[in-house]
Amino acid sequence: MNASKRNLYILTFVLFVVMLGYGIIIPILPFYIESMGAGGMELGLLVASYAVMRLIFGPIWGGISDRVGRKPILLIGIFGYVLTMTWFGLATQLWMLFAARILSGILSSATAPTTMAYIGDSVSEEERGGGMGLLGAAGGIGVIIGPALGGFLAGESLSTPFFIAAGLAFLALILAIIFLPESHPSQEQAEDQEPIVNLRIWREAINSPVGALFILIFISTSGLMIFANIFGLYGLERFNYEPKEVGIIMMALGLVSALTQGLLAGPATKTWGDELVIKAGFLVTAIAFGLMLLANTFLTVILTTAFFALTVSLQSPALFSLTSRRAKVPQGIAMGLSNSFVSLGRIVGPILGGVVLDIHLNLPYISGAIIMLAGFAFSLVWFRSQSSDGDLLSEY
């Protein structure tokens, strides 16, 4: 096994352990804040505060990793999980939860852009889509196993899953320290070296051709968040589903996502190219949103969810792979900005879905279809303009 593949597998395992710890707390958090006298609004603000911090600090950590190397920043991100999960477990008041969640967003936002930049450093362009897919699969499997494990662990105490998550993150930290080599040696400070927080470079990246990919990432993430986050209420109101049925369907979404990103994303981008996978992803996910409105049995709902997960999970690695390959700024900054647009989608998607759900039950999925069709149209126009200008190589 060559060094790049070995490092990829080590990084994948570390990310799996971190995301397993993250998944453990997913089913516990609503009950945890309820035990402190809070409700739905506080839960929404708690989730949004985390996403906002990731939006702000993702590019900053990415820029720092371009300066000092990937490994130190990755270790900071993992340590952030250890610290904040422990804090959550010890919290006795609501303000402590918000402080821990905000700190978690600041520190743990170092993890995702650094892992992606690590792939950009270590893996050939041909293999990059598969590498991004493998990372996505690792995170997906962790999120699949984590909630079931968290529900089991919460039987004794609601705080227990947080301490277990902290322990798993600590294990990942030790593994990364011992086994993961540096992929991007630190740069010596020079008088003319760009500052870490460089708004000019961020603006140049957003205004460059790769900025359109950031928009596509935002659109794709917003659609995914509408589909996944609204389904619990949609299933309850339309089908009278209980948490068990919703859990099974969400597990199907996570399982198909993990298998698709781990096994199919690489071959798909190699066979058809990133461009075609991205464009087809928007069109087919728009169709999946429409199919959800037609699904009227438990089986058809699961099949529709699996179909949606399959297409969006092929598209996501292609978007990140193409961003990594076409970025004219350092990898850390490019991946940090891309993850900021992911965070923006995680803020906008659930809020939009919730607002339109209050107007009409079907509107979230109609809105999701419209958003994905807009992404499809934008991708068609943008890729065609890039091809005509000779700025983007044809891949199919």
pLDDT score for 375: 95
pLDDT score for 231: 76
Question: What is the pLDDT confidence band of residue 2, given thresholds at 50, 70 and 90?
Answer: low
pLDDT score for 392: 39
Q: Which contacts of 353-361 are long-range, i.e. CB under 8 A and separated by 24 or more positions? A: 353/225, 353/226, 353/229, 353/230, 354/44, 354/229, 354/230, 357/230, 357/233, 357/234, 361/234, 361/237, 361/238
Question: What is the pLDDT confidence band of residue 9, given thresholds at 50, 70 and 90?
Answer: confident
Question: Looking at 12-26, 153-167, 212-226, 357-371, which range is the least confident one?
Answer: 12-26
Question: Above pLDDT 70, what percent of the chain?
Answer: 82
Question: How many angstroms separate the CA atoms of 211 and 138, rounded?
Answer: 27
pLDDT score for 394: 41
pLDDT at 312 over 70: yes
Question: How many angstroms separate the CA atoms of 19 and 72, rounded?
Answer: 19
Question: How many angstroms separate the CA atoms of 193 and 216, rounded?
Answer: 31
Question: Looking at 35-39, 209-213, 271-275, which range is the least confident one?
Answer: 35-39
pLDDT score for 322: 87
Question: Looking at 59-68, 127-136, 235-244, 366-375, which range is the least confident one?
Answer: 127-136
pLDDT score for 113: 75
Question: What is the pLDDT confidence band of residue 201, given thresholds at 50, 70 and 90?
Answer: low
Mean pLDDT to the nearest integer, 357-381: 92
pLDDT score for 27: 63
Question: What is the pLDDT confidence band of residue 219, given thresholds at 50, 70 and 90?
Answer: very high
pLDDT at 297 over 70: yes
pLDDT at 282 over 90: yes
pLDDT tens digits, one per residue of 95-153: 998 999 899 889 888 887 787 777 777 776 666 667 777 777 777 777 677 766 776 77
Q: So what CATH class is 1-181? A: mainly alpha
User: Residue 314 is inside which H or E element, if any?
Assistant: helix 298-326
pLDDT score for 307: 94
Question: Looking at 56-70, 74-88, 199-213, which range is the least confident one?
Answer: 199-213
pLDDT score for 32: 77
Distance of CA 270 to the CA centre of its chain: 22
pLDDT at 217 over 90: yes
Task: Write down the mean pLDDT value for the chain.
Answer: 80
Question: Looking at 71-80, 119-128, 336-345, 377-386, which range is the least confident one?
Answer: 119-128
Mean pLDDT to the nearest integer, 168-172: 87
Question: What is the pLDDT confidence band of residue 249, given thresholds at 50, 70 and 90?
Answer: confident
Sign (positive/negative) of CA torsion 257, 100, 243, 365? negative
pLDDT at 311 over 50: yes
CB 230 within 8 A of CB 350: yes
What tokens appear for 128 in the block? 């990059």
123 phi and psi angles, rounded to 5 deg: -115, 140
Closest-CA residue to 353 (of 250, 215, 212, 221): 221
Closest-CA residue to 323 (of 57, 116, 71): 116
pLDDT score for 109: 81
Helix (H, G, I), strand (E, B) or coil at 371: helix
Question: How many angstroms separate the CA atoms of 150 and 172, rounded?
Answer: 18
Angstrom CA distances, 272 to 146, 264, 320, 392, stand at 33, 12, 16, 15
pLDDT score for 191: 44
pLDDT at 44 over 60: yes
Closest-CA residue to 288 (of 344, 372, 353): 372
More confident residue, 373 or 105: 373
How many C-beta atoms surround the C-beta of residue 100 within 10 A?
22
Report yes or no on whether pTM surpasses 0.75: no
Is 200-390 a CATH 1.20.1250.20 domain? Answer: yes
Q: Which contacts of 155-161 are long-range, i.e. CB under 8 A and separated by 24 or more positions? A: 158/28, 158/31, 158/32, 158/35, 159/32, 159/88, 159/89, 159/90, 160/89, 161/24, 161/25, 161/28
Distance of CA 172 to the CA centre of its chain: 19
pLDDT score for 260: 87
pLDDT score for 207: 67
Domain range annotation of the chain: 1-181, 200-390
Closest-CA residue to 316 (of 209, 216, 211): 216
pLDDT at 192 over 70: no
Cα-Cα end-to-end distance for the chain: 30
